Structure 1
Amino acid sequence: MDKARKMDYSKYEIYDFDNSSAFNMSSGYKERSYKTHWHSYGEIILVGPGDTNVFKVNQSTYKLVEGDFVIAWPMEMHAIVDADRKDSLVMQFSNAFLNTLFDLQRIMHIYRNLHVICINTHPELAEKLRKVTMQMRDIFFSGGANRELKCCMLLMEFMLILDEHREELSPELNLNSQNAYEDDVMRRMMMVTDYIKNNLTADDLSQGAMAEMAGISRDYFSRIFKNITGMNYSKWLNMIRMEKATELLSHNNMTLTEVAMYSGFKSIPSFNRVFHDEKGMAPGEYRTLFVEDK
C-alpha cells in the first residue's frame, strides 16, 4: 500500500525550471523559426522588428509586429513559424514560481487563454510591459549578484501590470467584467481547483461535488467559475487533465494507458479524443515531439 501511494502519478507534480533556476532570458538567435514543442515552464516573447513575425500557440496562429508579446503558459504547444529571433527577447519562468503565491496562481488561472498582447490594440499596456522587460534584460545580461531574484521580482511586476488591465482585456478573456469577487470567494475557488489538480483520479470531481466543497450552491459555483476562468467547468477540467497528461508523457516508462488513467480520463477513446481536439495530434505524436525537443 505504501509503495502504491509513492507511485501515484495523479499528483499534480511541480518541476523546477532547468532543475535549478526560476527565470531565464535569451536572445540573438540567427534562425527565424523553431519547431512545435512544449515544456513544463512558461515562456514570454517580446517580438522583435521585421515585416514578418508569425507565432503559434496551441492551434492558433498569430501574425504580430515589433513590440507585441507572446505568452505560452506551462505545458502549452507553441512554435516560432517565421520571425525575427535575433532582436526578440525570450523570457522563461518555472511553473513552481507561479505556484509560490496565491495571487500568481489566480492570475495564471484567469489569463490562461491569453496568448498575445498587441501594441496596436493595447498600446499603454504593451509599453508598460516593455519597460519592465527591458529592466529584466539589463539585469539578467549584466550577470550581477542576485540577478535571478531581481528578475523574478520584475516578473511579478509584469504579472501585476497584466492584472491591473483585466477590465481592458476582459473581452479577449471572455470574462464578465461586471463581476468582481472578494478574496474569500477567490480563495474558495482556488482551494477547489488545487484539490482537483492534486486528485485527478478521485471518484467524484463533478461540479456539484466541487460546489459543495466550496460551500456554495451549484448554480452560483457554475456562474463564478465561468466568469473567473472564461470557460465552463467541464472544459476547464479537461484542460487540467490535459496539463497532467502532457507532463506524464515526458515519462517514457509510462504507457499511454497509464498516462490516461493517472490524468483522470475514464477511457482511452475519451483521452485520445480530448487530446486530439486540444493539441491537434495523437498523444503518441506529442510524446515524440517532446523527445525530439530534448
Structure 2
Amino acid sequence: MAEKYQQPIEGFSRIVEGNYEIVHFLTGSTIRIWYNQEAQDFSSHWHPAMEIIMPVENIYTVTIHETKFVLNPNDILIIPAGELHHLMAPPCGARLIYMFDFSVISKIKGFSSLLPFLAQPILINQETYPLYYTDHYQLLLKIRDEYFSDNNLREPLIYSHLINFFVHLGRSRINTDMAFPYIHTTKRKDLIEKLNIVFDYLDTHYRENLTLDSVADIAGFSKFHFTRLFKQCSGQNFYDYLCYKRIKSAELLLVHPEITITEIALQSGFSSISTFNRTFKKLKNCTPSEYRALYCANY
C-alpha cells in the first residue's frame, strides 16, 4: 500500500515550528495528500489549510481544544483551518491525510451557508452519518486516486470531488434532524432557506457595523428567536460567527505585505486595531504580524 502512494516529489515530511505547521503543497498546487505511517506524535499546532484525516490501519487520536477524537479505520475527521489540534499516533498503523486550501471552495456562491458548520470539527462515520457515510468515504478514495495519478487535470478533478463532498455534507445536515431536531421537515427547510439569506448577507456585508437586531430583521425573526435558530444551525452565536468571518477576511489580506495591519483591520470590519489584534490573537493563537511573518517565510 505504501509503495502505491508515494509522494509525487521526494523529501516530504510534516514540519512543525512552535505551534505552526508549515504546509508544503506541490509547486503551483493548493492540495497535499499523503499515506502516513509515521508513529510520531505532534503537539498542539495549527495551519492555514483545512485537514481531513482518515485512518486506514489502526486507530489515530486527535485532540482539538479539549475534545478527543479516537478515530477507527475509515472514520473521517474534518479539522477546520486554523484550529489548534494535537495528533497521537499508535506504535504501528497508517492513515490518509488530506490538506487543501478551503478558500478556493468557500468563495463559490452558496457555500456561505455551510461555513458556520465547517468552522467546527466534524466526525463522519457510520454512527454519525449513517445514510451518507458511504458517499463521503467513496469521494475521499476518488480524491486519493486522482492525487496519486499522472493525470494533468488532477487538481480541478480533486476540487470537483471536494465540492461534491461538502455539498453532500450540507445536504445531509438539511435532510436529517441535525440542524433543527424538533421541527417538522417542511418547516425546517423553510427556516434554513431564511437563514441562508442571512449567511449570504453576512458574506457580503460583514465589514459593516452590523447588529443582531438588524440582521434578525432581514430574516424576519425576533432577536431572541433568531439567536436560538442561528446557534442551532451554525453551532456558533451571531457575534462569534461575525468575528470568524472578519478574521477569515483578514487572513486573506495579510498575505499581501503592501497592506498595513491597520488597513487590514478596517477593511475586515474591525473598528479599532486593538480589537482586531485581540480578536485575531484569541482565534488564531498568534498576532496578525506573527501570522504574516509565518506565511511570508513559507511561501
Same fold (TM over 0.5): yes
Note the C-alpha offset of 1:25: 4.7
Q: CA deviation at 1:236?
A: 1.2
The residue number in structure 1 matching 2:262 is 257
Tell me which residue corresponds to 1:13. none
Report what 1:38 is aligned to.
47
Pick one of 224, 229, 238 that aligns with 1:224: 229
- Which residue pairs with 2:87 in the alignment? 81
Q: How does 1:107-146 map to 2 (within 5 A)?
A: 107-118=114-125, 125-144=132-151, 146=153
Determine the C-alpha separation between the residues in 2 that align with 1:159 and 1:112: 13
User: Are residues 290 and 59 of structure 1, via their aligned partners in 2, closer, same or farther at CA, if it must alter by over 3 Å?
Assistant: farther
How many residues align? The count is 265
Instruction: List runs of 5+ in structure 2 lacking aligned partners.
Output: 1-24
TM-score w.r.t. length of structure 2: 0.69
- Equivalent residue of 2:265, what SS? helix
Native 8 Å contact 2:112 2:200 kept in 1: no
Q: Say whether the 8 Å CA contact 2:50–2:101 is kept in structure 1.
A: yes
Q: Are the aligned partners of 1:57 and 1:76 in contact in 2 as well (CA < 8 Å)?
A: no
* Mapping for residues 19-98 of structure 1, pairs under 5 Å: 24-29=31-36, 32=40, 36-39=45-48, 42-51=50-59, 53-55=60-62, 57=64, 62-73=69-80, 75-78=81-84, 81-83=87-89, 87-98=95-106
Structure with higher RCO (Cα < 8 A, 6+ apart): 1
Change beyond 3 A, Cα 1:132–1:192: same
For residues 113-142 of structure 1, the C-alpha deviation after alignment (integer angstroms, 9 at most, x for no partner) is 233335665566544422221122223323
In structure 1, which of residues 146, 152, 158 is the aligned counterpart of residue 165 of structure 2?
158
Superposition deviation, residue 90 in structure 1: 1.3
Counterpart among 200, 210, 220 of residue 191 in structure 1: 200
* Unpaired segments ≥5 residues, structure 1: 1-16
**Which protein is richer in strand relative to its size?**
2
Structure-2 separation of matches of 1:58 and 1:281: 16
TM-score (norm 1): 0.70
**AA of the residue aligned to 2:104:** A
Partner-residue secondary structure (3-state), 2:52:
strand
Candidates 166, 177, 181, aligned match of 1:177: 181
CA contact (8 A) 2:33 2:147 kept: no
Report the CA distance shift for 1:48/1:34 in structure 2 as closer, same or farther (over 3 A).
farther
Amino acid at match of 2:253: L
